[in-house]
Chains A and B, each alone.
Chain A
Amino acid sequence: DQQVKQNSPSLSVQEGRISILNCDYTNSMFDYFLWYKKYPAEGPTFLISISSIKDKNEDGRFTVFLNKSAKHLSLHIVPSQPGDSAVYFCAARALNTGNQFYFGTGTSLTVIP
């Protein structure tokens, strides 16, 4: 049962434009959400996170939005750069299950110069 879903396997964006990556989840007990960036043959790198008590968290070019009523999470990258080309995973955790992080299947972002 996939509790975290990324329905777009790939996304292409022109350099300088906004990239929007989406993620949906089903478990209303999730209280902590994360985005990871992964290059081929490397481990995922933590990018940005958000607690369920917030609806927005910003770090430089990266902003994560959380819509709890819709159970939807999004990552905005502005402006997009060629170095942002990677696979992006969203993840979530429920504090009452403590130790498990649930990952989506990833979205491959290509930023076209």
Chain B
Amino acid sequence: SQTIHQWPATLVQPVGSPLSLECTVEGTSNPNLYWYRQAAGRGLQLLFYSVGIGQISSEVPQNLSASRPQDRQFILSSKKLLLSDSGFYLCAWSVQPNSNQPQHFGDGTRLSIL
């Protein structure tokens, strides 16, 4: 069966520090991969998605970036965090080719910027 792992679960970082959140998927090949952010009291905002290694689409201009160095690994990064980067970050995967299959989410990372 497929599983998705996301870490760390919680992270407290000072303003201006770098960020690296990692997500890996097991049990499937060539998945679509996604990074979302849920700000307090708000819905899920799509940040990045990837259909393959090295292929990243950005949905929201910001100081965050994403990379997919391996088929089942998705990394969210920042060189200098802002206070507004606080939130709950979620990684998700879905199958390819496109079919009526849901996205599956990791357990999320709670990021607090001080």
Q: Do A and B bind each other?
A: yes
Seen from chain A, the residues whose Cβ lies within 8 Å of a Cβ on chain B are 6, 32, 34, 36, 41-46, 49, 51, 89, 91, 95, 98-106
Q: Which 7 A-B pairs have the closest CB atoms?
A: A43-B105, A105-B43, A103-B44, A46-B102, A98-B98, A43-B108, A32-B100
Name, among B6, B100, B103, the residue most crowded by chain A CB atoms within 10 Å (CB to CB). B100
Q: How far is the CA of A99 from the CA of B103 in the complex (A)?
A: 10
The answer on a CB contact under 8 Å between A99 and B98 is yes
The interface on chain B, measured as residues whose beta carbon lies within 8 A of the other chain's beta carbons, has a size of 26
Given A100-B49, A105-B43, also A95-B108 (CB < 8 A): no
The answer on a CB contact under 8 Å between B103 and A46 is yes
Q: Which residues of A contact B57 (CB under 8 A)?
A: 99
Q: Which residues of A contact B102 (CB under 8 A)?
A: 34, 46, 49
Seen from chain B, the residues whose Cβ lies within 8 Å of a Cβ on chain A are 6, 32, 34, 36, 42-44, 46, 49, 51, 57, 59, 88, 90, 92, 94, 98, 100, 102-108, 110
Chain B residue, CB-CB nearest to A6: B43
* Other-chain residue from A43, A104, A106 in contact with B107 (beta carbon distance below 8 A): A43
Chain A residue, CB-CB nearest to B100: A32
Chain B residue, CB-CB nearest to A4: B43
* Other-chain residue from A32, A43, A89, A98 in contact with B43 (beta carbon distance below 8 A): A89
Distance (whole angstroms) from the CB of A55 to the closest CB of chain B: 15
Distance (whole angstroms) from the CB of A16 to the closest CB of chain B: 29
Chain B residue, CB-CB nearest to A34: B102
Q: How far is the CA of A3 from the CA of B80 in the complex (A)?
A: 31
